[in-house]
Chain A
Amino acid sequence: MKIISISFLMFVFLTVFSLCMDILLGFDLNTSINNAIRPFLVMEVTEKIIFFLLIVLMIVGPVRTFYNKRKKKQQR
């Protein structure tokens, strides 16, 4: 769970970082947010499936280790 939360934190900060760069380039906040989101709105089905799979893979691993640790603790 720690891994997921660290990654999420990093991702949020990175997105803010990227938006700041867009703003420094001369875009306003709305345009830079739109620019960031737009590539995900025009994805094809294959891309969406792969993207979804990657996210599932990212979540499944840490959650499984978390539950395994919890089980071991309970067994003790």
Chain B
Amino acid sequence: MEKAKISAYQLFILIVLFELGSALLVPIAIEANQDAWLAILIGMVGGFCLYLVYHGLYSYYPDIPPTEYIQKIMGSFLGKILAFIYVLYFIYLSARVLRDFGEMLITSFYWETPLFILNTLMVLLVIYTVRKGIEVLARTSELLFVLIFLLGVSVLFLIVVSGIIQISYLEPVLEEGIKPVIKTTFTQTLYFPFGEVIIFAMILPYLNRPEKVKRIGLLAIGFSGLILASVMAINVSVLGVNNITRSPFPLLSTIQTIEVAGFLERLDVYFILITVIGVFFKMCVFFYASVVGTANLFKVKESARLAFPLGLAILILSITIASNFSEHVKEGLHVITLYLHLPLQVIIPSLLLLIAFIKNKKKKSKHSKNLFPKRKYRLVERDKK
């Protein structure tokens, strides 16, 4: 593990930027129609529960990454296989985020530029950042968070001023009952973006104040959940459900509709800036965790040396992952959620926590049994005296 420390504030920003990353890009929870914002909020509550599971594991093993404590919990052989699967999962998700980014740029702005070139540029930047380490990444996030915040506030101001929000689009609330909302939560929003916070299990050991991990994590998930829910509510109230289901990037469509005083329009650059910064951090966190996990698993001393070859693997994977954008989206919604997110974000961590709990309880009871005879012996000796 790299000898680096990040502060609680930096962790908060990293989680927020990570959560917003590609979730701002795509129409999440749109299966719940105008109640998408509600599905996101319920997903956020589920995200809290998942984070508590990851935090529970962290509290048992605060100084080592999951790739190491999985081996302690499950045993060397099974643990190594499971840790390897997790590393592959992180790399795969990183490649998916890269593909999202490339497709977004191609669809909306760079029609003539090949996907490979755009992805190469992004991946080179991410490799450079990851080679510099987690501290540099955290400090960069501190800088860019201010920019994102200012951009977000100004976009919100312009949307309100231009008068394009129609609250009636959000009505009726719960038109078909709570069932579709719950279904959307458990098939989508719980895992993407909230369950993906499992990646921070790799980063938590770097925090300089471990006692703040729980509070900061929950706060960050809550903050990003509120932002995502309000962005989705604004998207629905500006475009309407029908337009959103047809739009691959609803936030872009919303920003494109801004027109203030007849001259302030075509603010697509706002969208580009927000998504490029978000995707950059999301990729960096995924990639950093993959590099550290691989180095930890294969006992590589300088993890930075793995950055370039693994980055190249991500680049190639991002091209081969799907033959077109619709296949990529369908795979993300139907296959990845069921076969990857559900077991690797929910089932396995819960099982690991259960095993860790039982193991630690046994250890404690053994420890107390060992202590008890000594005490007895001392008491007997004292009586004799």
Binding site for B on A (CB under 8 A): 2-4, 6-7, 10-11, 13-15, 17-18, 21-22, 24-25, 35-40, 43-44, 46-47, 50-51, 54-55, 57-58, 61-62
Contact between A14 and B114 (Cβ–Cβ < 8 Å)? no
Within 8 A of A (CB), among B5-50: none
Given A7-B309, A25-B330, 7 more contacts at CB 8 Å?
Answer: A3-B305, A6-B309, A7-B310, A13-B88, A21-B339, A21-B340, A39-B320
Contact between A4 and B309 (Cβ–Cβ < 8 Å)? yes
Majority secondary structure, A binding face: helix
Contact of A40 among B84, B319, B334, B340 (CB under 8 A): B319
Q: How large is the interface on B (under 10, 10 to 19, 20 to 34, 35 or more residues)?
A: 35 or more
Contact between B88 and A17 (Cβ–Cβ < 8 Å)? yes
Contact between B320 and A55 (Cβ–Cβ < 8 Å)? no
Contact between A18 and B116 (Cβ–Cβ < 8 Å)? no
Rounded to whole angstroms, the CA-CA distance of A14 and B294 in the bound complex is: 13
Rounded to whole angstroms, the CA-CA distance of A18 and B99 in the bound complex is: 13
Binding site for A on B (CB under 8 A): 84, 87-88, 91-92, 95, 114-117, 120, 294, 298, 300, 305-306, 308-310, 312-313, 315-317, 319-323, 327, 330-331, 334-336, 339-340
Task: Kindly list chain B residues whose C-beta atoms are within 8 Å of the C-beta of A58.
Answer: 308-309, 312
Task: Kindly list chain B residues whose C-beta atoms are within 8 Å of the C-beta of A13.
Answer: 84, 88
The 5 sampled A-B contact pairs (Cβ below 8 Å) are: A3-B309, A6-B300, A25-B331, A47-B114, A51-B116
Q: How many inter-chain residue pairs (CB < 8 Å) link A and B?
A: 93
Task: Kindly list chain A residues whose C-beta atoms are within 8 Å of the C-beta of B92.
Answer: 14, 17-18
Task: Kindly list chain B residues whose C-beta atoms are within 8 Å of the C-beta of A47.
Answer: 114, 116-117
Task: Kindly list chain B residues whose C-beta atoms are within 8 Å of the C-beta of A24.
Answer: 335, 339
Tell me, rounded to whole Å, the shortest Cβ–Cβ distance linking A35 to chain B: 4
Contact of A14 among B88, B308, B322 (CB under 8 A): B88
Rounded to whole angstroms, the CA-CA distance of A47 and B316 in the bound complex is: 12
Contact between A14 and B312 (Cβ–Cβ < 8 Å)? no
Contact between B306 and A3 (Cβ–Cβ < 8 Å)? yes
